[in-house]
Structure 1
Amino acid sequence: MIHTRRFGEWFELTLPHDWEGFSVDYILRDLWKAPKKQIHFMRMEKHIKINGNPLIDWNHSLKAGDRLQLKLFREEDFGVQPAYREVEVLYEDDHMIVFNKPANMDTHPNTPDQTNTLANAAAFLLQAQGEHRKIKHVHRLDRDTTGAVLFAKHPLAGAILDSMLEERLIKRTYLALVHGRMKAKKGTIREPIGRDRHHATRRRVSPKGQPAITHFELIETYPKQNLSLIKCQLDTGRTHQIRVHLSHLGHPLAGDLLYGGKPIFDHQALHAEKLEIPHPFTKEKITCIANSARHHPWTLYR
Structure 2
Amino acid sequence: MEMGRPFRKGKWWMLRVEEGEGGIPLEVALRERMHISGRKLQKLTRMDGIRLNGEKVSLQKNIREGDLLQVLLFPDEEYGVEPEEMPLFIPYEDEHLLIVDKPAGISVHPTEVGQKGTLANALAYHYYQEGLRTKVRHVHRLDRETSGLLLVAKHALAHSILDEELRERRVKRIYLAIIAGTLPKKEETIHFPIGRDRHHPTRRRVSKTGERAVTHYQVVEEYSQGSLLRLELETGRTHQIRVHLNHLGHPLLGDPLYGGDQRWIRRQALHAHQLSFFHPFLEQEMRFTSPLPQDMESVIRQWREMDGKFTPR
Matched residue, 1:290: 290
Compute the displacement of 1:74 (Å).
1.9
Matched residue, 2:278: 278
Q: Which string of whole-angstrom CA distances, capped at 9 and with x for unpartnered residues, describes residues 21-51 of structure 1?
A: 576269559x957483x4433102221234x
Contact 2:22–2:62, Cα closer than 8 Å, also in 1: no
Contact 2:21–2:64, Cα closer than 8 Å, also in 1: no
Matched residue, 2:6: 4
Matched residue, 1:97: 98
State the structure with bigger RCO (CA 8 A, min sep 6), 1 or 2: 1
Query: Secondary structure in 2 aligned to 1:197?
Result: coil
Is 1:203 the counterpart of 2:204? The answer is yes
Compute the displacement of 1:184 (Å).
1.3
Matched residue, 1:156: 157
Change (3 A) 1:157 1:18: farther
Q: Percent identity?
A: 40
**Equivalent position amino acid for 2:46 in 1:** M
Q: Which string of whole-angstrom CA distances, capped at 9 and with x for unpartnered residues, describes residues 135-179 of structure 1?
A: 211100000000001111111111111111001111111001111
Q: Distance in 1 between matches of 2:79 and 2:279?
A: 23
Q: Which runs of 5+ in 1 are unaligned?
A: none
Query: Secondary structure in 1 aligned to 2:162?
Result: helix
Matched residue, 1:84: 85
Matched residue, 1:137: 138
Change (3 A) 1:20 1:125: farther
Is 1:127 the counterpart of 2:148? The answer is no
**Equivalent position amino acid for 2:292 in 1:** S
Compute the displacement of 1:19 (Å).
12
**Equivalent position amino acid for 2:27 in 1:** V
Contact 1:175–1:230, Cα closer than 8 Å, also in 2: yes
Matched residue, 1:24: 27
Contact 1:193–1:211, Cα closer than 8 Å, also in 2: yes
Query: Secondary structure in 2 aligned to 1:159?
Result: helix
Matched residue, 1:263: 262
Query: Secondary structure in 2 aligned to 1:298?
Result: helix
Of residues 57-66 and 207-216 in structure 1, the stretch that sits farther from structure 2 once superposed is 57-66
Matched residue, 2:308: none
Q: Which string of whole-angstrom CA distances, capped at 9 and with x for unpartnered residues, describes residues 161-209 of structure 1?
A: 1111001111111001111112312111111100000000000000111
Compute the displacement of 1:214 (Å).
0.6
Compute the displacement of 1:258 (Å).
1.2
Contact 1:72–1:156, Cα closer than 8 Å, also in 2: yes
Q: Distance in 2 between matches of 1:27 and 1:188?
A: 40
Query: Secondary structure in 2 aligned to 1:164?
Result: helix
Q: How does 1:156-175 map to 2 (within 5 A)?
A: 156-175=157-176
Q: How does 1:27-38 map to 2 (within 5 A)?
A: 28=31, 32=35, 34=37, 36=39, 38=40
Matched residue, 1:242: 241
**Equivalent position amino acid for 2:277 in 1:** I
Change (3 A) 1:246 1:18: farther
Query: Secondary structure in 1 aligned to 2:241?
Result: helix
Query: Secondary structure in 2 aligned to 1:89?
Result: coil
Q: Distance in 1 between matches of 2:233 and 2:67?
A: 38
Compute the displacement of 1:88 (Å).
0.6
Change (3 A) 1:13 1:259: farther
Change (3 A) 1:63 1:189: farther
Compute the displacement of 1:62 (Å).
6.0
Q: CA RMSD in A?
A: 2.8
Matched residue, 2:75: 74
Change (3 A) 1:83 1:259: same
**Equivalent position amino acid for 1:48 in 2:** I
Matched residue, 1:46: 48
Q: Distance in 2 between matches of 1:293 and 1:125?
A: 23
> Aligned residues, how many?
297
Q: Which string of whole-angstrom CA distances, capped at 9 and with x for unpartnered residues, describes residues 106-146 of structure 1?
A: 00000111111011110000101111111211100000000
Of residues 282-291 and 230-239 in structure 1, the stretch that sits farther from structure 2 once superposed is 282-291
Matched residue, 2:306: none
Query: Secondary structure in 2 aligned to 1:198?
Result: coil
